[in-house]
Chains A and B, each alone.
Chain A
Amino acid sequence: MDKALGDKIPEFNKKPQAGGVGITSASLGLGEHRTKFEILVIILVAVVIVGGTEASLIVFNVPQYVFPKPSQIIVALFTEWVYIWPHLLITLYELLVGFAIGGSIGFVLAAVITQFPFVEKVVTPYILLLVTTPMLALVPLLILRFGFGSEPRIIAVALASGPMVMINSATGFRRVDLAKIALARSFGASTIQIFTKIRIPMAMPMIIVGLMVGSIFGLLTTIGAEMVGGAEGLGNRLTYYSALIRMPQFFAIILILAILGISIYVIFFWLGKRWASWEA
């Protein structure tokens, strides 16, 4: 008896799950059904890691400047919050504005370019170049030109997230289903209606993947750009606190960044569930 087959119901005609590309709940990990026991184990693991770290740091008497205790990090997060949150707002502002600019340009470019195969073939290598080149490398140059304010960082975020959104959205827009377009056309749909009612919904799963990857690239670039120059933002706080060897505060910032990243993930997971779950 084959163990892998076990008690599985033999349903061979079922289509396999859309592989890899789609923002399926499975590919995001969140949507998989978990039993209460599994959730309990996940929480338990967190408790063990945090508690174990706390205990071993006390037992081995590790000094705060080497590695702060989890309890100290939490305390630092609350006591230092008044000083941290203006920087959080600035980081969020740069991220959102940069991502909005880059994302919308990327989306529109993808929608337009995929309608012209020749243009698409010519432009794609350059977009790929933009995707693979770390836009952080441009930040010193942008600072020379735009100063130490938010502008160079917003530009870097737009440059980092835009091509990501574009390349994924373009993949989505390229998936044309002739029958669906013929269906809309047979009911008298205009070209614009075919775009809004057929092409965009059909591309939506890939657009959401693009937005998610793009925004995470954006977050990376925001923090990196703030570390390079200027005196504001969470990235700047990291360099600031580490220079002063104020490790609990340093780790408090890291904690905030982790929460930011997870929030982005969760937001796009729910967007995917709402707008792209039909593909799962």
Chain B
Amino acid sequence: MNLKVEKKAVSAAKPCAVKMAIRDATKYYHTRSGAVHALDSVSLDVRESEFLCILGPSGCGKTTLLWSMAGLHPLSSGEIRLGDEVITKPNPEIAMIFQDANLLPWRNLAKNIELPFELKRQPPDRKMINKLLDRVSLTGFENKFPRELSGGMQQRASIVRSLAVSPSVLLMDEPFGALDAFTRDEMNLLIQEIWMETRKTIAFVTHSISEAIFLADRVAVMSARPGRIAEIYDIDIPRPRPVEIQTQPDFIKRVLQIKSRIEHGKGPATGLAIT
């Protein structure tokens, strides 16, 4: 049934090249209290240069799906492909942006941004880094340590860290979840602008319905225990989308539509925020 819904959604949209293909991704975690069924044959295409939001309540397997796409942990069955390549380990084409920025507290901002280059044993691309720092208004903060920066600045630094290595896919795991509402709006605008400028393929995990609609070309709604794709919504609102759009009747209608779908579905809707 899930597959059917997805196929309908795919065929309704314009034909686009598939960047990442997830096929029957299933994942069990083996814990002391038994196996946890985190993903149940999830099939999903991430299209070239699209902004895909994966929306779902906490514990629905969004992060598990994203980590599998990043090649950070293996699936129990099924496969994830980037082009023709099956993802079994981290791929240089894919960069991840984590919750709470995930900067290393013992490194200053410049050193944090150079980390990926260090790990790849490459000289840091100074031109690129400076351009990006300027783009996110962090020039002049290179010597600051993460604890000296605000949450928004930390997350901006982590965006620079990921973009500096020129990936073609960005995987974002509730990156703005810990920020206050104002900073969050700013960050959503920034990531929209960056996406419009770079046209990277972005898979963005969130539990906020309005954040998903605000950012996405398509919203894939997941249900929990086990994690499944329940529905995919096309969001055809023209860009650039201003923050105020979230108070427009059309936008609110979309929010309520997704919300009611989640409430009528079998999956528990608890933990889903409208904001």
Tell me whether B72 is interfacial, beta carbon within 8 Å.
yes
A187 touches B120 (CB 8 A): yes
The proximity string for B residues 127-154 relative to A, scoring 1 for CB distances below 8 Å and 0 otherwise, is 0000000000000000001010000000
Tell me whether B78 is interfacial, beta carbon within 8 Å.
no
A187 touches B102 (CB 8 A): no
Tell me whether B119 is interfacial, beta carbon within 8 Å.
yes
- In the complex, which of the residues A180, A185, A201 contacts B102, with contact meaning CB atoms closer than 8 Å? A180
The proximity string for A residues 180-199 relative to B, scoring 1 for CB distances below 8 Å and 0 otherwise, is 10111111110001000110
Return A73 CB to nearest CB of chain B, in Å.
Answer: 44
B92 touches A188 (CB 8 A): yes
Tell me whether B165 is interfacial, beta carbon within 8 Å.
yes
Q: Which residue of B lies closest to A276 (CB)?
A: B106
Instruction: Say yes or no: A179-B99 contact (C-beta < 8 A), given A193-B119, A278-B145.
Output: yes
A182 touches B119 (CB 8 A): no
Tell me whether B256 is interfacial, beta carbon within 8 Å.
no
- In the complex, which of the residues A179, A197, A278 contacts B118, with contact meaning CB atoms closer than 8 Å? A197
Tell me whether A54 is interfacial, beta carbon within 8 Å.
no
Tell me whether A279 is interfacial, beta carbon within 8 Å.
yes
- Cα separation A204 to B105 with both chains bound (whole Å): 12
Contacts of B100 in A (CB 8 A): 179
**Number of interchain pairs (Cβ within 8 Å):** 53
Contacts of A198 in B (CB 8 A): 104
Q: Determine the main DSSP class of A at the interface with B.
A: helix
Contacts of B70 in A (CB 8 A): 186
Number of interface residues of A (CB under 8 A): 20
Contacts of A278 in B (CB 8 A): 105-106, 145, 147
CB pairs A–B below 8 angstroms (16 shown) = A179-B102, A183-B96, A183-B102, A184-B119, A185-B90, A186-B70, A186-B90, A186-B95, A186-B96, A187-B95, A197-B115, A201-B104, A201-B106, A278-B105, A278-B147, A279-B105
Q: Determine the main DSSP class of B at the interface with A.
A: loop
B119 touches A180 (CB 8 A): no
Question: Which residues of B are at the interface with A, using a C-beta cutoff of 8 A?
Answer: 67, 70-72, 90, 92, 94-96, 98-100, 102, 104-106, 115-116, 118-120, 145, 147, 165
Question: Which residues of A are at the interface with B, using a C-beta cutoff of 8 A?
Answer: 179-180, 182-189, 193, 197-198, 201-202, 204, 275-276, 278-279
**Of listed A179, A188, A189, A198, residue having the most chain B CB within 10 A:** A188
Contacts of A188 in B (CB 8 A): 90, 92, 119-120
B72 touches A185 (CB 8 A): yes
Q: Which 9 A-B pairs have the closest CB atoms?
A: A187-B116, A186-B96, A278-B106, A278-B105, A189-B119, A201-B106, A187-B119, A186-B90, A179-B102
Return A193 CB to nearest CB of chain B, in Å.
Answer: 6
Return A65 CB to nearest CB of chain B, in Å.
Answer: 54
Contacts of A180 in B (CB 8 A): 102, 104
Q: Which residue of B lies closest to A189 (CB)?
A: B119
- Cα separation A202 to B67 with both chains bound (whole Å): 23
- Cα separation A19 to B93 with both chains bound (whole Å): 41
Return A238 CB to nearest CB of chain B, in Å.
Answer: 42
- Cα separation A193 to B104 with both chains bound (whole Å): 14
**Additional pairs, 10, CB under 8 Å, beyond known A182-B98, A184-B119, A186-B96:** A179-B100, A180-B102, A184-B115, A186-B71, A186-B90, A187-B115, A187-B116, A188-B90, A197-B118, A198-B104
- Cα separation A219 to B139 with both chains bound (whole Å): 48
Return B119 CB to nearest CB of chain A, in Å.
Answer: 5
Return B92 CB to nearest CB of chain A, in Å.
Answer: 6
A183 touches B92 (CB 8 A): no
A187 touches B165 (CB 8 A): yes
- Cα separation A186 to B120 with both chains bound (whole Å): 11
- Cα separation A276 to B102 with both chains bound (whole Å): 18
Q: Which residue of B lies closest to A181 (CB)?
A: B72
- Cα separation A189 to B165 with both chains bound (whole Å): 14
Contacts of A275 in B (CB 8 A): 106
Contacts of A193 in B (CB 8 A): 119
Contacts of A202 in B (CB 8 A): 106
Contacts of A189 in B (CB 8 A): 119
Return B178 CB to nearest CB of chain A, in Å.
Answer: 12
- Cα separation A189 to B72 with both chains bound (whole Å): 11
Return B152 CB to nearest CB of chain A, in Å.
Answer: 15
Instruction: Say yes or no: A182-B147 contact (C-beta < 8 A), given A188-B90, A197-B119, A204-B106.
Output: no
Return B132 CB to nearest CB of chain A, in Å.
Answer: 16
B118 touches A182 (CB 8 A): no
Contacts of B98 in A (CB 8 A): 179, 182-183
Contacts of A187 in B (CB 8 A): 90, 95, 115-116, 119-120, 165
Contacts of B119 in A (CB 8 A): 184, 187-189, 193, 197
- Cα separation A279 to B72 with both chains bound (whole Å): 27
- Cα separation A197 to B96 with both chains bound (whole Å): 18
Contacts of A182 in B (CB 8 A): 67, 72, 96, 98
Contacts of A179 in B (CB 8 A): 98-100, 102
- Cα separation A114 to B124 with both chains bound (whole Å): 33
Contacts of B102 in A (CB 8 A): 179-180, 183
**Of listed A179, A185, A189, residue having the most chain B CB within 10 A:** A185
